[in-house]
């Protein structure tokens, strides 16, 4: 960057800093944070995003700025860790680097790193645990049978190599009972209790799983069923016992969906989080094609934007013979509406964004 260009940027930076103090708004914080990122000051951008969210907790743009800043910080840490591995490789540094690559969603780099890790330290089960975590994250996001199968294989290998690894056993037990392999899941959760008898969360998990029906031992077939139906068979322990704050959030989402469904031109609307969906309008049942189009489109847009490293697909509009489907998604929260041709999609997307932002804000209060 030329000196004159850098001087112009610093001048703009000072102007935006003063504006953020005098006239705080989401757009002001985002503009200032973007300048920090352009100057490779990701730590300041992170701080700016956090300050903005303290004032405007429902702003999706500020959440995206925070993600971008933290992504930059992780990339910088990746460079430092790779340099350390070149000088003096050890399993601890491999684990930290692999964990960051999981957070970044860089599965190609993760796969290559774990292969190198397992070759240099063949007795270390950590590479299989991290690979299992990555595959599990992809499975819970996309509900793809292949990802689920690979996650279980990696976690089983980690448990075989290190039977005392509580994290691997917990992850393996949870994914197994959620797809229906309850008996096998109970074995791993029981092993967790033996490893740490004082863990009350494990006791609660055992009680929760004991009430669930078992669907057999053919895990591959269970994963195929999950992919076909687009939902997990059993809820997590946390989802099975919602807190009062979650009830208030759910009520707010229902009210928001009802408002969207009454907008001119909107035929049906839904809010999806994880494997559960709330619906309004002309939706027959859980197998309505609208719900599947929304899930598949949101996942495809997410994968496409991550693959090209162009940010996140927070708003999407699909056009077809059915009219238009507007989708707003952030993290695990997704809201969508099917509209007739000619509908004001900008207004619909704005309402959907409010629903998603409100749900995320409620979840943070609950946490």
CATH number, residue 66: 1.25.40
What's residue 5's pLDDT?
72
Considering the domain boundaries, does residue 207 fall inside one?
Answer: yes
Considering the domain boundaries, does residue 12 fall inside one?
Answer: yes
Q: Is 123 left (phi over 0), alpha (psi -120 to 50) or beta?
A: alpha
Asked whether the beta carbons of 72 and 45 are under 8 A apart, the reply is yes
Q: Residue 335: which H helix or E strand, with range?
A: strand 333-339
Q: Are residues 112 and 186 in the same domain?
A: yes
Maximum pairwise Cα distance, the chain = 69
| Mean pLDDT split into 10-residue runs, the chain, 367 residues | 69 82 87 88 92 85 91 94 94 95 90 95 95 92 91 96 94 96 95 92 93 94 89 82 55 85 89 79 73 83 72 81 88 87 89 84 57
Cα gap 56→72, rounded to integer Å = 23
Considering the domain boundaries, does residue 22 fall inside one?
Answer: yes
Considering the domain boundaries, does residue 81 fall inside one?
Answer: no
Q: Are residues 71 and 177 in the same domain?
A: no
What's residue 57's pLDDT?
82
Considering the domain boundaries, does residue 84 fall inside one?
Answer: no
Q: Are residues 185 and 267 in the same domain?
A: no
Considering the domain boundaries, does residue 321 fall inside one?
Answer: yes
- Enclosing domain of residue 36: 3-75
CATH code of 317's domain: 3.30.450.30
Domain boundary among 45, 75, 105: 75
Considering the domain boundaries, does residue 83 fall inside one?
Answer: no
Q: Are residues 102 and 160 in the same domain?
A: yes
Residue 360 to residues 306, 348, 363: CA-CA distances in angstroms? Answer: 21, 19, 5
Q: Are residues 54 and 184 in the same domain?
A: no
CATH code of 167's domain: 1.25.40.10
Could you tell me where the DSSP H helices lie in the chain? 3-22, 26-38, 42-55, 60-87, 91-104, 107-120, 126-142, 145-161, 166-179, 182-195, 200-210, 219-229, 237-240, 244-261, 289-308, 345-366
Q: Are residues 263 and 220 in the same domain?
A: no
Q: Are residues 231 and 286 in the same domain?
A: no
Considering the domain boundaries, does residue 26 fall inside one?
Answer: yes
Domain boundary among 50, 75, 100: 75
Q: Are residues 54 and 171 in the same domain?
A: no
Count structural domains, the chain: 3
Q: Are residues 106 and 36 in the same domain?
A: no
Q: Are residues 176 and 221 in the same domain?
A: yes
Q: Are residues 236 and 260 in the same domain?
A: no
Domain boundary among 240, 268, 285: 240
Q: Are residues 62 and 112 in the same domain?
A: no
């Amino acid at each position: 960057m030329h000196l004159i260009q850098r001087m112009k940027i610093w001048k703009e930076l000072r102007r935006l800093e003063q504006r953020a103090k005098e006239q705080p708004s989401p757009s002001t914080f985002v503009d200032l944070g973007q300048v920090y990122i352009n100057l490779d000051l990701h730590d300041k951008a992170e701080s700016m995003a956090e300050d903005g969210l303290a004032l405007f907790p429902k702003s999706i743009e500020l959440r995206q700025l925070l993600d971008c800043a933290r992504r930059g910080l992780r990339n910088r840490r990746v460079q430092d860790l790779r340099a350390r591995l070149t000088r003096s490789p050890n399993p601890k540094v491999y684990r930290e680097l692999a964990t960051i690559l999981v957070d970044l969603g860089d599965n190609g780099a993760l796969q290559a790193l774990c292969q190198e890790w397992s070759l240099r330290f063949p007795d270390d089960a950590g590479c299989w645990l991290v690979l299992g975590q990555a595959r599990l994250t992809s499975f819970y996001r996309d509900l793809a049978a292949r990802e689920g199968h690979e996650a279980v294989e990696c976690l089983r290998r980690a448990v075989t190599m290190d039977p005392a690894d509580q994290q691997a056993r917990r992850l393996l037990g949870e994914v197994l009972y959620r797809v229906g392999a309850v008996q096998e899941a109970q074995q791993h959760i029981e092993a967790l209790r033996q490893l740490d008898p004082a863990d009350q969360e494990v006791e609660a998990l055992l009680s929760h799983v004991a009430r669930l029906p078992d669907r057999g031992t053919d895990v591959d077939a269970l994963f195929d069923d999950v992919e076909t139906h687009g939902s997990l068979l059993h809820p997590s322990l946390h989802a099975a016992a919602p807190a009062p704050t979650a009830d208030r959030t759910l009520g707010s989402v229902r009210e928001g969906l009802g408002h969207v469904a009454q907008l001119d031109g909107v035929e049906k609307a839904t809010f999806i989080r994880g494997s559960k969906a709330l619906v309004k309008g002309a939706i027959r049942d859980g197998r309505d094609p609208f719900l599947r189009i929304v899930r598949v489109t949101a996942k495809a847009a997410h994968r496409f934007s991550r693959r090209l490293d162009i940010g996140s697909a927070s708003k999407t509009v699909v056009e077809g013979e059915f009219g238009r489907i507007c989708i707003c998604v952030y993290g695990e929260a997704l809201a969508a509406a099917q509209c007739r041709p000619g509908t004001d999609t900008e207004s619909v997307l704005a309402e959907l964004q409010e629903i998603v932002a409100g749900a995320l804000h409620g979840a943070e209060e609950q946490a």
